[in-house]
């Protein structure tokens, strides 16, 4: 059976966002990135953004209750009917349990979990070199996938590539530590349900995508 309701697990810098964007285009199901939603809230200065900002700037996880509320709303939007790709959620066991309860309530089933696996020493270089298009949020890398000279695919591309403040060298180690302590145990959480597939993320984006397509069917 094809998998269209899925979680992408993996460390910061594993390429979850890049792959989720590609899968969204391919399968016409939304990428739901809690990081993107939070960054938009910070930019807009909403109460959620104001509360989340200090945690994000420090590379720490935002409190579970804020995140769970946000996902509860997002998973009830009409574009989620034929599937979804969770990118950056859940990140703690409490969030995973809340997701289980929410899906029961929504009569939806989690169909698969894919761990995008990348060795720790590669993650730092990937994160500090990451740049994002100011407009379309497409992700590039100064060395491995430089932003195109002609800009992204949008006609009005301002060719402005921004570095996330939490991709700075002094914040990245805190994010990786949070991953190890709080998120890595989720692989076991979902393994017991036999839902975890592992994909080698230490390869060029297209090779990773091709493995993902195979897994998702």
**Looking at 56, 116, 172, 176, which residue binds ligand AMP (CB under 6 A)?**
56
Query: What is the arrangement of strands in the sheet containing 196-200, beginning at the earlier edge strand?
Result: 31-33, 84-87, 5-9, 112-117, 196-200
Of residues 78 through 97, those in contact with ligand AMP by CB under 6 A are 88-89, 91, 95
What is the three-class DSSP state of 90?
A: coil
Question: Considering only residues 149-168, where is the footprint of ligand AMP by CB under 6 A?
Answer: 166
The Cβ of residue 38 has, within 10 Å, a number of other Cβ atoms equal to: 22
Position 30 contacts ligand AMP (CB under 6 A)? no
- Listed in sequence order, the residues at least 6 apart from 170 whose beta carbon sits closer than 8 Å to its beta carbon are none
Q: Rounded to whole angstroms, how far apart are CA atoms 203 and 193?
A: 28
93, 179, 199, 200 from 134: Cα distances, Å = 33, 26, 29, 29
Count of residues that bind ligand AMP according to CB under 6 A: 17
Residue from the set 3, 61, 75, 172 that interacts with ligand AMP by CB under 6 A: 61
Options 61-69, 99-107, 118-126, 198-206: segment touching ligand AMP (CB under 6 A): 61-69
* Catalytically annotated residues: 16, 91, 130, 164, 175
- Give the binding site for ligand AMP (CB under 6 A): 12, 34-35, 38, 55-56, 59-62, 67, 88-89, 91, 95, 166, 175
């Amino acid at each position: 059976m094809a998998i269209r309701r899925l979680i992408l697990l993996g460390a910061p810098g594993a390429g979850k966002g890049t792959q989720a964007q590609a899968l969204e285009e391919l399968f016409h199901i939304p990428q739901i990135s809690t990081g993107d939603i939070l960054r938009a809230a910070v930019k807009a200065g909403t109460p959620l953004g104001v509360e989340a900002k200090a945690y994000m700037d420090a590379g720490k996880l935002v409190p579970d209750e804020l995140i769970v509320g946000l996902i509860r709303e997002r998973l009830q939007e009409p574009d989620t009917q034929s599937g979804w790709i969770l990118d950056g959620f859940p990140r703690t066991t409490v969030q995973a349990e809340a997701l289980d309860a929410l899906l029961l309530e929504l009569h939806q089933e989690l169909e698969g979990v894919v761990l995008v696996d990348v060795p720790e020493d590669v993650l730092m270089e990937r994160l500090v070199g990451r740049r994002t298009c100011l407009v379309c949020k497409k992700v590039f890398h100064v060395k491995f996938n430089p932003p195109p000279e002609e800009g992204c695919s949008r006609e009005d591309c301002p060719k402005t590539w921004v570095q996330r403040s939490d991709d700075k060298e002094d914040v990245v180690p805190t994010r990786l530590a949070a991953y190890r302590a709080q998120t890595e145990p989720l692989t076991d959480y979902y393994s017991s349900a036999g839902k975890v597939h592992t994909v080698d993320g230490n390869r060029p984006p297209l090779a990773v995508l091709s493995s993902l397509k195979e897994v998702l069917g």
